[in-house]
């Protein structure tokens, strides 16, 4: 019996050397992104070949967020950090890069001509441009216009191909499909906002929607400026402006207090409606936001 057992064991060993068995799953490329919409972009291009971790969690503001120690430790396994130009990166990117010197930091917003944050002096009533909390007077919300996301998507594709060239074909095919989706979404949103006439004033608490507004013929009016709420005189002027423009809705976002927006809305008989610029389901979120704004402007 023993020789037969030995023969059987030897046969199994030999077969195991020539039979490939089930293919091993690819180990995903580890990447970090700053905000949740970027995770969506990376998933559209990288699919299951890339695992993206988000630095700024839901409900937190990318203007003031400070990474947690466990996040800094997790950077040790990342191959890429995909930046987008949000404010916390100014202080933290050098430390993020130092946490893993073999990790490549890619600025996906590079090549985008960012617009100035046109601020209104609430206390003096004079229009002028200020340095905003987001940086030297430049609007960082470049992920809220599909045409600008097309530029970011190209940067993500290049970064993924460089990090994992063996997956080039998959990344490029996915990126081409995503670019087509973005072009289609842009056309859809343009059609949604046609025929507004003069009813195109978008009053918001935080000025996150400047690029979206510019793309689709809207005029953004922000309550908060330079990261600060208006004082008593500024609040009075905003109420007068809202009345003059017949504002029916003031839009707020989950990352900021809605107290002053509610005060203005109460004074002019408007509603306060939340819209989230940081939602991860990016495409459907822009559709929801566009539908909500379009309805408010009727």
| Domains along the sequence of the chain with CATH | 29-190 (3.40.50.1980), 196-296 (3.40.50.1980)
- pLDDT tens profile 73-129: 999 999 999 999 999 999 999 999 999 999 999 999 999 999 987 554 444 443 343
The three state secondary structure string of 15-53 is HHHHCCCCCCCCCCEEEEECCHHHHHHHHHHHHHHEEEE
Share of the chain above pLDDT 90, in %: 74
- pLDDT tens profile 41-75: 999 999 999 999 999 999 899 989 999 999 999 99
Host H or E run for residue 172: helix 168-192
User: What pTM was computed for the model?
Assistant: 0.85
Q: What is the mean pLDDT of residues 169-181?
A: 98
Q: Is the pLDDT of residue 244 over 60?
A: yes
How far the first Cα of the chain sits from its last, in Å, is 88
Share of the chain above pLDDT 70, in %: 85
Give the residue from 169, 159, 27, 30 showing the smallest Cα distance to 84.
159
The answer to whether the beta carbons of residues 96 and 105 sit under 8 Å apart is yes
Classified as helix, coil or strand, 103 is coil
Q: What is the mean pLDDT of residues 163-181?
A: 98
């Amino acid at each position: 019996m023993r020789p037969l057992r030995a023969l059987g064991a030897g046969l199994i060993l030999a077969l195991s050397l020539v039979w490939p068995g089930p293919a091993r799953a690819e180990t995903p490329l580890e990447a970090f992104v700053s905000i949740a919409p970027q995770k969506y972009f990376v998933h559209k291009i990288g699919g299951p070949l890339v695992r993206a971790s988000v630095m700024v969690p839901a409900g937190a503001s990318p203007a003031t967020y400070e990474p947690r120690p466990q996040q800094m430790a997790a950077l040790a396994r990342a191959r890429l950090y995909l930046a987008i130009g949000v404010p916390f990166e100014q202080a933290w990117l050098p430390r993020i890069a130092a946490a893993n010197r073999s990790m490549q930091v890619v600025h996906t917003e590079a090549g985008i001509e960012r617009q100035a944050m046109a601020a209104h002096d609430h206390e003096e009533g004079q229009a002028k441009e200020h340095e905003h909390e987001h940086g030297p007077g430049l609007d960082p919300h470049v992920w809220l216009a599909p045409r600008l996301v097309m530029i970011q998507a190209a940067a993500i594709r290049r970064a993924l191909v460089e990090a994992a060239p063996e997956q080039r074909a998959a990344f490029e095919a996915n990126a081409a499909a995503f670019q087509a989706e973005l072009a289609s979404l842009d056309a859809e949103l343009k059609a949604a906002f046609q025929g507004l006439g003069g009813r195109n004033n978008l009053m918001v608490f935080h000025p996150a929607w400047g690029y979206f507004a510019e793309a689709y013929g809207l005029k953004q009016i922000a309550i908060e400026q330079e990261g600060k709420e208006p004082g008593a005189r500024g609040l009075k002027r905003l109420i007068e402006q809202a009345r003059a423009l017949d504002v029916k809705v003031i839009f707020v976002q989950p990352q900021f207090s809605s107290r002053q927006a509610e005060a203005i809305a109460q004074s002019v008989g408007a509603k306060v409606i939340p819209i989230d610029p940081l939602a991860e389901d990016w495409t459907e979120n822009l559709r929801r936001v566009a539908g909500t704004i379009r309805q408010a402007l009727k």
